[in-house]
C-alpha cells in the first residue's frame, strides 16, 4: 500500500470519528487496462463523499449512487466486478473486455482500522487478513512479500513501507530527497557520522543514523527493494558506502558528482577495494535522470524519477539538448 492509499485509511478514520458510516473498497484483480493497480483503495461515505480512486471516476460514481441508496453500508464484505462485458466496459470507462474486481467492506469496530493506523505510524509492516463471511480482521506481522491474495474465504493485503532508501549524507539536497521519497512510500534512512551535518537534519518520517556508512549498509542487508545513494562529495564516506552497496542486491545504487569524478571514483573502487567491472557497471553516476537539473530540489526530483524508472524496469536514454544551457552549478547530474 502506498501513501496515497494510506491517506484513504486516515480519512476513513476521521469520517468514522465524526459519526459517518463508511465502505472501504480494495482492488483485488484487474484485466486489461486499469488506472490503479491491485491493492489500491477507495472509501465511500454514507452521504456519497469519496476518498481515493480505483478508476477514472465512473466506478466511483456508481459506488456513490449505491452509498446514497444505503446499499453499501449494510451486511458483510462483498466481491464486485465492473466491466465484465462490452456494455459495462463502455459505461465504466474500461476497454472492451477490461475488468476491475473490488472487495467492498463496511468499516466497523472489528475492522480494527485505528489499530492498523497506529502500527503503520510506528513504521511497522502489517499483513491484514479480512474474513469475507464476517468482516472480522486479523492483523499479523508482514512477511517478505507484498502479495495480495483473495480466495473463497479471505482477502490478505500488506501495508506499510516496503521500499527502502538509504542516503549517505545529511546535507541540503538530502532534506529535499528525503521529503519527496517519503511521499513516494520509501522508508528513508539517512546516514551521516559528521556532527556538523547530522545535528541540523530533521525530516519527519526519515530516520537518521550516525554510524559509518559501510557499517550501515552491511547492517541493513540491502535486498531487491533497497536503493542506496551517496551524496556527501566526500570519498571517505561515499566510497565506503558504495563499496558494500555494489556487492549487495540493492536495485539502485547512485552517487553524486560529475562524469569526471565518477570515473575517478570507479578507479578508486576497483584499485583499492577490489570491485569488479560488472559491479561498477551497476553504479548510476552522475546520479539521476539527465534533465538539466541545477538546484537541490530539482536534482532530488531527477534522482527519484530515475529510481521510479528502474523500479518499473524502464531505461531512459540520455536526452537530446534542444537549446544550449549554461553548465549546472551543482555539477551533479549534468
**pLDDT per position as a tens digit, 63-77:** 888 888 877 766 789
pLDDT score for 326: 55
SS3 category, 53: coil
Q: Which pTM value belongs to this model?
A: 0.64
Residue 334 lies in a domain: no
Q: Which residue among 121, 141, 159 closes a domain? A: 159
The whole-angstrom separation of Cα 20 and Cα 17 is 7
Domain with 139, as residue range(s), is 3-159
Shared domain for 134 and 211, answered yes or no, is no
Residue 76 lies in a domain: yes
pLDDT score for 57: 64
Residue 330 lies in a domain: no
Shared domain for 114 and 25, answered yes or no, is yes
Residue 267 lies in a domain: yes
State the Cα angle at 181 between 175 and 185, rounded to 5°: 145
CB 275 within 8 A of CB 269: yes
Shared domain for 134 and 40, answered yes or no, is yes
Shared domain for 211 and 261, answered yes or no, is yes
The whole-angstrom separation of Cα 129 and Cα 137 is 6
Extended strands (E) in 231-294: 252-255, 283-284
SS3 category, 209: strand
143 burial level (CB within 10 Å; 0-12, 13-18, 19+)? exposed
CATH of residue 188's domain is 3.40.50.720
Residue 17 lies in a domain: yes
- Short-list 47, 12, 8, 13, CA closest to 27: 8
Q: Which residue among 159, 181, 216 closes a domain? A: 159
pLDDT score for 144: 65
pLDDT score for 225: 85
State the Cα angle at 288 between 319 and 145, rounded to 5°: 120
pLDDT score for 280: 95
Residue 220 lies in a domain: yes
Shared domain for 149 and 174, answered yes or no, is no
Query: Residues in the chain with pLDDT < 70?
Result: 1-3, 32-35, 56-57, 73-74, 84-98, 144-145, 324-334
| H/E stretch holding 172 | helix 172-183
Residue 256 lies in a domain: yes
Q: Which residue among 137, 159, 181 closes a domain? A: 159
Q: How far is CA 194 from CA 40, 201, 208, 212, 257, in A?
A: 40, 11, 12, 9, 20
Shared domain for 183 and 144, answered yes or no, is no
Terminal C-alpha separation, the chain:
34
Residue 325 lies in a domain: no
Overall number of domains in the chain: 2
Shared domain for 223 and 268, answered yes or no, is yes
CB 41 within 8 A of CB 49: no
Shared domain for 52 and 172, answered yes or no, is no
Query: To the nearest 10°, the Cα dihedral for 70, 73, 74, 78?
Result: 110
Amino acid at each position: 500500500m502506498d501513501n496515497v492509499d494510506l491517506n484513504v485509511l486516515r480519512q476513513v478514520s476521521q469520517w468514522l470519528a465524526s459519526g459517518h458510516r463508511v465502505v472501504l473498497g480494495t482492488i483485488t484483480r484487474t484485466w486489461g487496462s486499469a488506472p490503479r493497480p491491485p491493492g489500491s483503495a477507495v472509501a465511500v461515505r454514507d452521504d456519497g463523499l469519496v476518498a481515493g480512486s480505483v478508476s477514472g471516476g465512473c466506478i466511483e460514481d456508481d459506488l456513490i449512487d449505491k452509498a446514497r441508496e444505503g446499499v453499501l453500508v449494510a451486511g458483510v464484505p462483498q466481491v464486485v466486478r465492473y466491466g465484465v462485458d462490452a456494455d459495462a466496459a463502455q459505461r465504466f470507462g474500461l476497454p472492451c473486455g477490461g475488468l476491475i474486481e473490488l472487495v467492498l467492506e463496511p468499516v466497523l469496530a472489528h475492522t480494527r482500522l485505528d489499530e492498523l493506523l497506529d502500527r503503520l505510524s510506528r513504521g511497522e509492516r502489517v499483513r491484514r487478513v479480512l474474513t469475507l463471511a464476517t468482516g472480522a480482521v486479523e492483523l499479523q506481522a508482514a512477511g517478505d512479500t507484498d502479495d495480495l491474495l483473495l480466495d473463497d474465504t479471505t482477502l490478505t493485503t500488506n501495508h506499510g513501507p516496503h521500499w527502502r532508501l538509504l542516503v549517505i549524507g545529511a546535507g541540503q539536497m538530502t532534506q529535499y530527497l528525503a521529503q519527496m521519497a517519503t511521499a513516494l512510500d520509501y522508508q528513508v534512512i539517512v546516514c551521516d557520522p559528521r556532527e556538523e551535518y547530522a545535528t541540523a537534519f530533521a525530516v519527519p518520517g526519515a530516520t537518521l543514523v550516525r554510524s559509518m556508512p559501510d557499517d550501515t549498509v552491511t547492517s541493513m542487508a540491502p535486498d531487491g527493494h533497497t536503493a542506496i545513494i551517496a551524496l556527501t562529495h566526500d570519498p571517505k564516506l561515499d566510497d565506503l558506502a558504495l563499496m558494500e552497496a555494489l556487492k549487495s542486491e540493492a536495485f539502485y545504487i547512485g552517487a553524486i558528482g560529475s562524469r569526471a569524478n565518477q570515473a575517478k571514483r570507479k578507479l578508486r573502487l576497483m584499485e583499492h577495494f577490489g570491485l569488479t567491472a560488472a559491479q561498477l557497471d551497476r553504479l548510476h553516476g552522475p546520479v539521476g535522470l539527465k534533465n538539466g537539473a541545477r538546484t537541490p530540489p530539482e536534482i532530488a526530483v531527477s534522482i527519484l524519477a530515475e529510481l521510479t524508472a528502474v523500479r518499473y524496469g524502464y531505461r531512459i536514454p540520455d536526452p537530446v539538448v534542444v537549446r544550449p544551457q549554461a553548465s549546472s552549478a551543482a555539477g551533479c547530474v549534468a
